[in-house]
């Protein structure tokens, strides 16, 4: 599933009537749109998956595509899934910002969501209704980009309810059978009428082969659309797994700002699906970090249509799911690492592995501290093998470690060993290695056998520029 990077591009207050609350909350949308349109760029020349004919034109001042970008993969239809995109108008320029997916009767769903204290209205809706239905009978998914509908109080929850009510009427199902997700600026109330008014039109645009357009429609500051696909076997029957994701900044564990929607045609019970998605989120989306900031809207939804013809599986540990489990983790890992590759302003993709720790949790905390250190990340941006900053980050993780046994490596090059600079340290070789676009850092802390790996990117001037201009 590894793909080669694409070529580098050139350089509510009390007492206020509801109508007034709505007007005040939605007013910033147009202003925000002026900035966000600069952050949108339509990817082109996908390998095996060209954009749909309805795909919008890129904004004039779009961000350049990440030099770490990978080509959008060939993603065949998943039996039972139909999708369509449209322009709801959350951005001023011409681009699709609305995605709708539909699923057949009997489909299952499961999800993992942000643990952020300020969860969004769409997250609240999905969590509540997945618990109510136990993941059974999901029929539709409605996603918008350009407005997060987070920190919007009761009006935000009402907007989600109206969207789901309208979708339920269109697709002949119950409100609770509709999942929703939003991404964009926090604190802006969703103008649900923009979505509701587009449903009659989008109903006539459904296709079973629109993955590339779907991935583009959910983008915000992303510079390329993200997709992954795999084929697995369940008891000798071929099943497919496909997923799309969005995310570029505000990416950190629990969960990684991101939305991800993964669909399989396998027949798997909701309980088993939930166990699988919860398990593999830990080693994928919860193992990447761009800037250490978590989002209010993080959502990962996994759907199973049951249309492959394979036997229905009711337990996540069923031996017949062995290949499926491996392939599902691969798809999630592919999508998660693409978030890092599209890190705002990123030029380096970095793998950090910590070994010799007392526990996995300890190793993970040390790795995350290294990955999120501004000093470490800026050193990578400057192509400086400053192993002293790595040592600094390890120490401030406040986890067990042995200073006099610790070692640090950049790729195969040993920078420090047994608490000292390595006798084989070669500045010229280190400098040459740091010019690579993909780097590996290994740290052994010398107190045990546990290990953990995380993925991150460098911190460049472009990150500051992108986020400094986000709303201005």
HEC sequence for 324-379: HHHHHHHHHHHHHHHHHHCCCCCCCEEEEEEEEECCHHHHHHHHHHHHHCHHHHHH
Look up the pTM and report it.
Answer: 0.84
Q: Give pLDDT tens digits for 165-183.
A: 999 999 999 999 999 999 9
Share of the chain above pLDDT 70, in %: 83
Q: What is the pLDDT of residue 343?
A: 84
What is the distance between the alpha carbons of residues 352 and 389, in angstroms, rounded to a whole number?
Answer: 14
Q: What is the pLDDT of residue 471?
A: 57
Q: What is the pLDDT of residue 11?
A: 41
Q: What is the mean pLDDT of the chain?
A: 86
Share of the chain above pLDDT 90, in %: 74
Q: Give pLDDT tens digits for 264-293.
A: 999 999 999 999 999 999 999 999 988 766
Say which residue, 468 or 289, is predicted with more confidence: 289
What is the distance between the alpha carbons of residues 416 and 408, in angstroms, rounded to a whole number?
Answer: 5
Mean pLDDT of 122-137: 95
Reported confidence tier of residue 298, pLDDT bands at 50, 70, 90: confident
Q: What is the pLDDT of residue 186?
A: 86
Say which residue, 89 or 256, is predicted with more confidence: 89
Reported confidence tier of residue 42, pLDDT bands at 50, 70, 90: very low
Q: Give pLDDT tens digits for 408-452.
A: 999 999 999 999 999 999 999 999 999 999 999 999 999 999 999
pLDDT at 17 over 70: no
Mean pLDDT of 289-310: 85
Say which residue, 118 or 80, is predicted with more confidence: 80
Q: Give pLDDT tens digits for 393-411.
A: 999 999 999 999 999 999 9
Name which of 135, 144, 136, 206 is nearest 170 in CA terms. 206
CA 212 to chain centre: 16
* Annotated catalytic residue within 257, 281, 305, 369: 257
Contact 391, 406 (CB under 8 A): yes
Buried b vs exposed e over 266-277: b needs ≥16 C-beta within 10 Å?
Answer: bbbbbbbbbbbb
DSSP state of 410: E
What contacts 229, CB < 8 A, 6 or more positions away? 73, 74, 75, 76, 240, 241, 242, 243, 331
What is the distance between the alpha carbons of residues 431 and 385, in angstroms, rounded to a whole number?
Answer: 7
Tell me if residue 257 is catalytic.
yes
Contact 184, 148 (CB under 8 A): yes
Contact 152, 121 (CB under 8 A): yes
* 51, two tokens: 């954009």
Reported confidence tier of residue 297, pLDDT bands at 50, 70, 90: confident
Q: Give pLDDT tens digits for 227-246.
A: 999 999 999 999 999 999 99
Q: What is the pLDDT of residue 16?
A: 40
Q: What is the pLDDT of residue 173?
A: 97
Q: What is the pLDDT of residue 121?
A: 94
pLDDT at 31 over 70: no
């Amino acid at each position: 599933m590894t793909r080669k990077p694409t070529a580098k591009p050139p350089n509510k207050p009390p007492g206020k009537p509801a109508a007034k609350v709505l007007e005040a909350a939605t007013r910033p949308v147009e202003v925000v749109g002026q900035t966000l349109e600069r952050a949108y760029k339509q990817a082109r020349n996908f390998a095996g998956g060209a954009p749909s004919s309805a795909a919008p034109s890129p904004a004039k001042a779009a961000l350049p595509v990440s030099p770490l970008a990978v080509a959008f993969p060939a993603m065949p239809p998943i039996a039972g899934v139909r999708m369509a995109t449209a322009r709801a108008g959350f951005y001023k320029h011409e681009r699709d910002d609305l995605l709708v997916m539909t699923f057949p009767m009997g489909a299952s769903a499961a999800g993992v969501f942000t643990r952020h204290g300020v969860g969004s209205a769409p997250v609240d809706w999905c969590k509540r209704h997945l618990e109510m239905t136990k993941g059974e009978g999901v029929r539709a998914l409605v996603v918008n980009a350009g407005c997060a509908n987070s920190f919007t109080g009761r009006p935000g929850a009402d907007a989600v309810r109206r969207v789901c009510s309208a979708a339920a009427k269109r697709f002949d199902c119950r409100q609770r059978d509709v999942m929703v997700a939003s991404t964009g600026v926090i604190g802006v109330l969703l103008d649900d009428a923009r979505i509701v008014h587009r449903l009659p039109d989008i109903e006539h645009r459904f296709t079973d082969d629109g993955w590339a357009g779907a991935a583009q429609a959910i983008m915000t500051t992303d510079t390329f659309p993200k997709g992954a696909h795999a084929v697995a076997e369940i008891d000798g029957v071929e099943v497919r797994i496909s997923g799309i994701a969005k995310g570029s900044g505000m990416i950190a564990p629990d969960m990684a700002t991101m939305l991800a929607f993964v669909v399989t045609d396998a027949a798997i019970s909701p309980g088993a699906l939930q166990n699988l998605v919860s398990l593999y989120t830990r080693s994928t989306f919860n193992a990447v970090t761009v800037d250490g900031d978590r989002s209010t809207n993080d959502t990962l939804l996994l759907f199973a249509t049951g249309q492959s013809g394979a036997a229905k599986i009711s337990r996540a540990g069923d031996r017949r799911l062995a290949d499926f489990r491996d392939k599902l983790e691969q798809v999630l890992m592919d999508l998660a690492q693409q978030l890092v590759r599209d890190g705002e302003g990123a030029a380096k993709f970095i793998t950090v592995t910590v070994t010799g720790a007392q526990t996995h949790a300890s190793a993970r905390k040390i790795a995350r501290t290294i990955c999120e250190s501004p000093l470490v990340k800026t050193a990578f941006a400057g192509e400086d093998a400053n192993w002293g900053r790595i040592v600094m980050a390890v120490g401030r993780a406040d986890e067990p470690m042995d200073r006099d046994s610790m070692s640090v490596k950049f790729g195969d090059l040993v920078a420090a060993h047994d608490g000292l600079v390595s006798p084989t340290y070669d500045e010229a070789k280190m400098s040459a290695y740091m010019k690579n676009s993909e780097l590996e850092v290994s740290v052994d802390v010398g107190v045990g056998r546990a290990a953990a790996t995380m993925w991150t990117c460098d911190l460049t001037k472009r990150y500051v520029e992108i986020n400094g201009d986000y709303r201005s």
